[in-house]
Amino acid sequence: MLAEVLVPFVRDFAGGGKGTVETLVGDASTRRYHRVHLAGGSPPSAVVMELPDEPLKSDEASSPGLGPPELPFLNIQRYLAGGGYPVPRVFRFDPQLGLVGLEDLGDRTFEAAVKGASDSERARFYCAAIEQIVALQELGKARPDSGCVAFSRRFDETLLRWELAHFKEWYLEAERGVQLEGAEAAVLETAFDWIARQLAAAPTTLVHRDFQSRNLMVVGDGSVPDLKVIDFQDALLGTRAYDLVALLRDSYVVLAPAEVDALVGHFIARAGVEDQAGFRRLFVLQTLQRKLKDTGRFVFIDRVRKNPSFLRWIPASIGYVREALAVAPDELGALRDLLGRRVPELAS
């Protein structure tokens, strides 16, 4: 039944004859992806994004400005592609079927390219990825667009604080059975409030929000790190360090501390960051916020969405939190002591 719908959908823009459908491995989203191969098609294959039921009436839709509801994916893709940013082409969207036809970028992810790579090859790929972070920030600065939904939302204190609450609700309480009361609860809440205030007060730039190794595709023959960026529908305004944290503190690829330090330095030089010490402090605070959230989110995905596959990435996230706490500002000393007592893996 799936092929009976997807093949004609793709044939409408690609032509061709007989087709086959391959359902791709999913992730934590509610969307599903399929690759459709068409004999004699142009292109010969395409990826079809299958959206939840009635996507224009769900949280998949948004209304930037006063226009009608539109999928953030399509809205942001149009903005990025119009600015020359390397994202997949959109061939067709059918709101009744809930299908989006996309350029097929192949199966080689950044994660696959860097795992097992030599030190020099891995550095080349990470430098190429950093170029795309810088390019995104420069695009957002040069071409702000009120018609793009990404510019209408930001990591404000409320959103940052909501994400941090994931760690308490889902990891501490649900997964570890840790119930904080009295003074301990106050320490956690005060520290989380402080982190959210610090990050919300930092200057903002356009960020992808999940710029990690599974959302970068290596295209071409792979001899050079030619990258295209996917899964950008949640883009918004955030700190200059956000996407760099997502890349270098990726739960799926753990880098040595010396590599991270060198790559942060490379970003500072490439992006022209003037206050280097201030940026490195921001990188630490953003690491804490992002990886505390991720730790709780992975449990949420297991308990609520019934997908336990992300639980295995919790140790990497915990490790990043531990490293960041060890060098965090003095204002977080009480949080470091509390989490070290309550979660032994976080003890320095």
Answer with the residue of higher pLDDT: 310 or 31.
310
pLDDT at 222: 64
Give the chain's mean pLDDT.
Answer: 93
Asked if residue 224 and residue 91 are part of one domain, the reply reads: no
Domains identified in the chain, total number: 2
Strand partners, 21: 36
Give me the half-sphere count of Cα atoms (radius 13 Å) on the Cβ side of residue 183: 3
> Residue 234 pLDDT > 80, yes or no?
yes
pLDDT category, 1, cuts 50, 70, 90?
low
CATH number at residue 232: 3.90.1200.10
At 187-205, the pLDDT tens digits run 999 999 999 999 999 999 9
pLDDT at 278: 98
Range of the domain at 95: 2-103
Q: What is the pTM of this model?
A: 0.94
CATH number at residue 72: 3.30.200
Give the three-state DSSP class for 109. strand
Could you tell me what percent of the chain has a pLDDT over 90? 89
Spatial separation of the C-alpha atoms in residues 345 and 174, rounded to whole Å: 17
Asked if residue 92 and residue 142 are part of one domain, the reply reads: no
Average pLDDT over residues 311-335: 97
Asked if residue 155 and residue 18 are part of one domain, the reply reads: no
Last residue of a domain, one of 84, 103, 122: 103
pLDDT at 188: 98
pLDDT category, 220, cuts 50, 70, 90?
confident
pLDDT at 168: 98
Asked if residue 190 and residue 114 are part of one domain, the reply reads: yes
Asked if residue 247 and residue 157 are part of one domain, the reply reads: yes
Asked if residue 139 and residue 38 are part of one domain, the reply reads: no
Asked if residue 314 and residue 177 are part of one domain, the reply reads: yes
DSSP 120-145: HHHHHHHHHHHHHHHHHHHHHHH---
Asked if residue 78 and residue 48 are part of one domain, the reply reads: yes
At 132-156, the pLDDT tens digits run 999 999 999 999 999 999 999 999 9
At 269-300, the pLDDT tens digits run 999 999 999 999 999 999 999 999 999 999 99
Q: Which residues contact 198 (CB under 8 A, 6 or more apart)?
A: 285
Question: 214-223, 296-305, 337-346: which range is least confident on average?
Answer: 214-223
Asked if residue 136 and residue 61 are part of one domain, the reply reads: no
Last residue of a domain, one of 43, 72, 103: 103
> Residue 100 pLDDT > 60, yes or no?
yes
Last residue of a domain, one of 83, 103, 123: 103
Asked if residue 213 and residue 91 are part of one domain, the reply reads: no
Residue type at 124 in one-letter notation: R
Asked if residue 55 and residue 19 are part of one domain, the reply reads: yes
Question: 29-38, 96-105, 201-210, 302-311: which range is least confident on average?
Answer: 29-38
Asked if residue 204 and residue 336 are part of one domain, the reply reads: yes
How distant, in Å, are the alpha carbons of 2, 56, 111, 231, 346 from that of 228? Answer: 28, 26, 13, 10, 35
Q: Which residues contact 203 (CB under 8 A, 6 or more apart)?
A: 239, 240
